[in-house]
Amino acid sequence: MTTRIANQKLRERVMSAEEAAALISNGQTIGMSGFTGSGYPKAVPQALAKRIEGEHAQGNPFRVKIWSGASTGPELDGALARADGIEFRLPYNSDPIARAKINAGEMEYFDMHLSQVAPMAWQGFLGKMDVAVVEISGITAEGKLIPSASVGNNKTWLEMADKVILEVNSWQSEYLNGMHDIYYGTALPPNRVPIPLIRPDDRIGQLHFDIDPDKVIAVVETDAPDRNAPFSPPDAVAEAIAGNILDFLEWEARRAGLPKSLLPIQSGVGNVPNAVMAGLIKAPFEQMTAFTEVIQDGMLDMIEAGTLRMASATAFSLSSDKAEYFNANAAFFRDKLILRPQEISNHPELVRRLGCIAMNGLIEADIFGSVNSTKIMGSKVQNGIGGSGDFARNGYLSIFVTPSVAKGGAISAIVPKVAHVDHIPQDVQVIVTEQGLADLRGLSPRQRADLIIEKCAHPDYRPALRDYYQRAQQSSYGKHAPVLLDEALSWHDRFVKTGTMHG
Ligand code: 0RQ
């Protein structure tokens, strides 16, 4: 199984996952590849988890610090969290076992903007990286690394880490070779220069990662699929939200005189963004582009339908079926997709220059348009801010989408005040639910409140929101953004105590 390793020197480092995991020590910081369930190492983390369980059984401490690109898969975060082997994790997690550990206070989790991970790692305050464990899809004869289905922070991890363990996964399509654009021009201030990317399809870097072969302590061969949760087919709520967005985009394109190709789209993960992609296939836009962080199922459909000309991202985020489909049809897709490091795919300079249309999910929004994307009832993390902040602050348009209620109606997604803020009102231009769409651009807090309550809130919660807001307008300390301090978070408090926000 050495056909993917064309370099003699690195072929000599091939060993088993168990042997490679034995090279990792307690307390080390590990830079893992992986972004939204693609391109993460699969064999070494599982072998490491087994080793950690063995050490724990003998009463020995063994925990590591994990830095990744974004979420990974059950073989990595799931296995290591189950073994109680993760002491600290950054920057985005969607694994349920790791989430439970974080929310039980048993694992430290630093949730940060995805574009900032690599620059902040270089700034040094996060500490040093001992080992990088990176999945790749092959090694060239010259010893260059062919990236896998995600790029994430791999370039940085390969440069920063003292030692490198490579997983060469032959399940990944060989057609990935040629799809990447690895930019090596980033530097820290005062040496930073403009990033020379003007259009989403510009290529500014190289196809492969550079690597110092002397740092590579192990090469492990795998043949294992990326694992991602399947998307549920769009339900009536997702379709209504998508319909509201599509009407708005058509209106906005006419109003602002945007081209037929619109502006580059960014779409978050989840069923609703996927439904929007499905809707865009039928919209009157042509030759669209995406400058985004993940390529989901819906984007491949748009490319096949001819509505999307190309997509730039840092990773695939495909359901298992779609990932198999991609592998079978990679020859068709390869010249229409570009995968870049996440500090480039999400770079504020580029998002602002290109004028991305950002569409992201939310947990809850308040009547003034602050958005909570991460913490249920203000304290329980769901996933993390991911790239939503990179795009929401810098896009031409910043749209947030959500069903108007959660947990069967026990929770209103529109509340008097969010219990945690990820996106301040200045970064939230449009809020969309299945009830309607609130275009908040240019509006004062009080104008925003009227619109959000009437257009976005569920009818079951609208009277209570109106009542709260009317009383706030009368007795708030200030009248610019009226608030009842002793009541603003009472909806959350009621849910925690009684299981419903209904009074
Ligand atoms: O919980 O799974 O226990 O049922 O949150 O909610 O409705 O399935 O929505 O999958 O679109 O995720 C904001 C989490 C939405 C996502 C968020 C509960 C709900 C359910 C998931 P269950 P849904 P989605 C690109 C951009 C931040 C990162 C980002 C996200 C679970 O979009 O992580 O945008 N965004 N990245 O029941 C209590 C509420 C709730 C609630 C939902 N108000 N109160 N629970 N839930 N609303 C991608 C990357 O950056 C990598």
Question: What is the per-residue pLDDT for 272?
Answer: 86
Whether the CB of 70 sits within 6 Å of ligand 1: yes
Backbone angles phi, psi at 24, to 5 degrees: -100, 140
- pLDDT band of 331, cuts 50, 70, 90: very high
Question: What is the per-residue pLDDT for 316?
Answer: 96
Backbone angles phi, psi at 483, to 5 degrees: -145, 145
Encoding tokens for residue 132? 């990088």
Assess contact for 91 and 63: CB atoms under 8 A: no
Q: What is the pLDDT of residues 164-182, one digit of tens each?
A: 999 999 999 999 999 999 9
> Cis bond leading into 91, ω under 30°?
yes
Assess contact for 195 and 204: CB atoms under 8 A: yes
Assess contact for 326 and 333: CB atoms under 8 A: yes
Euclidean distance between the first and final Cα of the chain, in Å? 63
Whether the pLDDT of residue 228 is over 90: the answer is no
Question: What is the per-residue pLDDT for 70?
Answer: 98
Whether the pLDDT of residue 11 is over 80: the answer is yes
Choose the residue to mutate in 92, 231, 269 for probing ligand 1, maximizing ligand atoms within 8 Å of C-beta: 269
Q: What is the pLDDT of residues 376-391, one digit of tens each?
A: 999 999 999 999 999 9
Question: What is the per-residue pLDDT for 2?
Answer: 56
Q: pTM, whole model, 2 decimals?
A: 0.97
Whether the CB of 491 sits within 6 Å of ligand 1: no
State the chain's maximal CA–CA distance in angstroms.
Answer: 77
> Mean pLDDT over all residues of the chain?
96
Whether the CB of 361 sits within 6 Å of ligand 1: yes
Distance 435 CA to ligand 1 centre (A): 18
Secondary structure, 3-state, 271-308:
HHHHHHHHHHCCCCCCCEEEECCEECHHHHHHHHHCCE
Backbone angles phi, psi at 250, to 5 degrees: -65, -45
Whether the pLDDT of residue 1 is over 60: the answer is no
Atom 2, ligand 1: residue with shortest CA distance? 382
268 is in an annotated binding site: yes
Decide if 343 is catalytic: no
Q: What is the mean pLDDT of residues 288-293?
A: 98
Q: What is the mean pLDDT of residues 354-359?
A: 98
- Beta-strand relationship, 131-139 and 29-32: parallel
Whether the CB of 48 sits within 6 Å of ligand 1: no
Whether the CB of 92 sits within 6 Å of ligand 1: yes
- pLDDT band of 226, cuts 50, 70, 90: very high
383 is in an annotated binding site: yes
407 is in an annotated binding site: yes
Q: Which atom of ligand 1 is nearest to the CA of 92?
A: 51
Give the Cα separation of 243 and 147 in Å (integer).
37
Report the share of the chain in percent with pLDDT over 70. Answer: 100
Our separate counts of H helices and E strands in the chain read 18, 25
Distance 482 CA to ligand 1 centre (A): 28
